[in-house]
Structure 1
Amino acid sequence: MIVRDIRKEVIGTQKEVFAKNNQWVSRRMLLKDDGMGFSFHETIIKAHTKTHIHYQNHLEAVYCVGGEGKIEDLKTGITHDIYDGVMYALNNHDEHYLYGGNVDMRLICVFNPPIKGTENHDENGVYPLED
């Protein structure tokens, strides 16, 4: 059994990863080395930010548990409001913009395959695929 306290074991450690431009912080609770077959994160999207994301190597499901924002599908141009209770899944490696609203947005995220833990978006919005 794995039990982790985000305040004692994640925040302030190497498992708390900040975006290069400080538009988000990802608190990585479960990682590849945990052997679960997925990774599990709490991500805070800062208010009034825009992040380009294109997970070419991962599938992601995201559930909003606080705050507000928007997601824009770059293939279709369709924008969806994100707020407490809304889930979205990037089941087709969907390239998108994620916008922070007027307040920080708190998201719970699951990645498959799991990430190692130190990843940050490259210039194309991609996390590298780890061996």
Structure 2
Amino acid sequence: MNLRRRDFMKTLAASALATIAHPPALALANRTSVSLSAPDRALRGAAITITLHVTHRGNNFIHFTNWVLLKADDQEIARWEFSAFNRPPSENFTLETTLEVQQTVQLVAEGNCNLHGSDGKAFHTITVTDS
């Protein structure tokens, strides 16, 4: 076997090992990311709509967002659970809930990929006023 062919075979073997160790589909995957949309200000007692925008590359029965949660002042107010056979509708999706605000509130949202974890928490503060 000449030197060129031996180098080619080594490169081919290394590429095959890399593909097995890190399949291309997983290489394109990422952590679940969440952003929040809600008003900055609200009247005391108002029911406000909170929208969570969830992004996650990869949405199949092996790799998916397995939960998304929303907290208001450290108390969980909404949680969405997903599984291999009850996955999110797509890689990018939105979730909505409402909250009646009585005082200024700090919102925290987070989502989790079953394989790669979370991209971090999203924060939003709603200032409550009387007029």
* Same fold, judged at TM 0.5 (above): no
Under a length normalisation based on structure 2, what TM-score does the superposition of the two structures give?
A: 0.29
TM-score (norm 1): 0.29
Larger C-alpha radius of gyration, 1 or 2?
2
